[in-house]
Amino acid sequence: MESRIVYHIEKFVAFLFGVNNTNDPEQRIYNKLLRLEGDELENWVHEKVKKYIICAGFYVEFEGDEFEGIYGPTLFETWYLNNVHELMQLDEIYERTSPDYAVEMQEIKLRLHDYQQPNTRNYDRDLSWQIHIMTDYMEMFIMTMSIADLKSYIIQQVDPVEIR
């Protein structure tokens, strides 16, 4: 289950920084990511890129020319629902018939709980728990990456290297 969630995060990151993002068809953000280094890269990634991916602070930080002149970020949930015909269905991601489902789900919830402290989400009472777990997992996944790892990760998603 975790690998299926990560797969969708990879597809989303590839969309955000790739040529198919209608908010950034010139890949301004990706090209700036490739150009920057050192403290300038670190500050920009912490202040803008991570928030751009997880879509935090849209109205304050990403309107108009505030973020590389692009229209704004795309919510993971919106992207997923608009592309669901090309992606795994939620029931496939959370394959409840799997014998390992309960154990895997508990492990993911515990990791999210530990990350979200003290403001944890109660997925058991959430009607949209499946998409919210994916969104929250993406936040944890992105926000806990080092700058170098995140830059490498984004490059790998946008320009994957084929091993021959």
* Predicted confidence (pLDDT) at residue 60 exceeds the cutoff of 60: no
Query: What confidence category does residue 56 fall into, taking pLDDT thresholds of 50, 70 and 90?
Result: confident
Digit-coded pLDDT (tens) for 118-141: 888 889 888 899 999 999 999 999
Q: Which of 59-68, 95-104, 133-142 has the highest mean pLDDT?
A: 133-142
Average pLDDT, the chain: 90
In terms of Cα–Cα distance, which of 5, 31, 25 is closest to 104? 5
Please tell me the distance from the alpha carbon of residue 44 to that of residue 119, in angstroms, as a whole number: 26
Does the structure show a pLDDT above 70 at 59?
no
Question: 5 CB contacts (<8 Å, ≥6 apart)?
Answer: 93, 108, 133, 134, 137, 138
> Which of residues 60 and 136 earns the better pLDDT score?
136
Indicate whether this model's pTM tops 0.85. Answer: yes
Report which secondary-structure segment, H or E, holds 24.
none
Q: What is the mean pLDDT of residues 8-28?
A: 94
Distance of CA 43 to the CA centre of its chain: 19
CB 86 within 8 A of CB 44: no
The tokens for 46 are: 């912490």
